[in-house]
Amino acid sequence: MRANIVAGNWKMNKNISESKQLASEIVSAVSQLSLNNTRVIVTPTFVNLSGVIAAVQDSSVEVAAQNMHQAKSGAFTGEISAEMLTSIGIKTVILGHSERREYFGETDALLTEKVNTALENSLEVIFCFGEVLEDRKNGNHFNVVKSQIENALFHLSSGQWSSIILAYEPVWAIGTGETASPEQAQEMHAFIREIVRNKYDQEIADNVSILYGGSVKPSNAREIFSKKDVDGGLIGGASLNAEDFVSLVKSF
């Protein structure tokens, strides 16, 4: 059975003391819950990873990284390798977030390299993709999403898909207050599951978790997460407040 997942992407927010405090508050609240096949993941910035790992120790809360470089090592000032992440206990990494694509020029070709490197280092990948508003208005959103998934992931073997989590993020809904309707989210998630099934098989399609990201908050999470093919969320702003974030976990 595929897992439900609530993953908080803290982006470039919170210093080390704030990050540890937020993590501790989440751990305290989550420890009171029956998670029912739900994974809880937080992703602080690189410099705060070790501190947050210590703060969640011996709890069910997992810590992931927001990004990584595709090379094993080398003269890449300011970058972080997969081996560096695994050496401090990181097991999951976000790749392909729309902000990485938009602000840092990450392409499908580059993301293919990053995915390969992550899997070679036994890292689980939360792979992000999604259309901009113009694509949605032009009715091109299905083609864009299909292309992003095909280009970066469809070279993988069937076995490698056990290390893939998909995260659909309509770019027009990230940080804007706009949210795809639950029906729009379900429509796209069903489409994603179908193209995976067509490329691979029903078992892989049924087992891959597909998250929704884009202004998910306590007031709309339950309705979105209730949809058949929506397996949780990659959460931005609402993940920066423990009460809000844990209320999303309670939405299952």
Residue 158, pLDDT above cutoff 80? yes
Per-residue pLDDT at 178 = 74
Options 62, 97, 106, 131, the catalytic residue: 97
| Residues 242-247, mean pLDDT to the nearest whole number | 97
Options 62, 99, 131, 169, the catalytic residue: 169
Residue 215, pLDDT above cutoff 90? no
Angstrom distance (rounded) from CA 33 to CA 137? 41
Q: How does residue 173 score in pLDDT terms, banded at 50, 70 and 90?
A: confident
Per the CB < 8 A criterion, the answer to whether 9 and 238 are in contact is no
How far apart, in Å, are the Cα atoms of 121 and each of 5, 85, 165, 247? 22, 10, 16, 33
Residue 210, pLDDT above cutoff 90? yes
Share of the chain above pLDDT 70, in %: 100
- Say whether 169 is catalytic: yes
Q: How does residue 177 score in pLDDT terms, banded at 50, 70 and 90?
A: confident
Please list, residue by residue across 187-210, b when 16 or more beta carbons sit within 10 angstroms of its beta carbon and e when fewer do.
bbbebbbebbeebbeeebbeebbb
Summarize pLDDT for 223-234 with one digit per residue, the tens. 999 999 999 999
Per-residue pLDDT at 36 = 83
Nearest Cα neighbor of 192 from 163, 174, 212, 178 is 212
Per-residue pLDDT at 1 = 82
* Model pTM score: 0.97
Per-residue pLDDT at 31 = 95
Angstrom distance (rounded) from CA 178 to CA 191? 21
Torsion angle, alpha carbons of 144, 43, 209, 147, to 10: 10
> Helices H, strands E: what count in the chain?
11, 8
Summarize pLDDT for 42-92 with one digit per residue, the tens. 999 999 999 999 999 999 999 999 999 999 999 999 999 999 999 999 999
Q: What average pLDDT is seen over the chain?
A: 96
Residue 175, pLDDT above cutoff 80? no
- Say whether 155 is catalytic: no
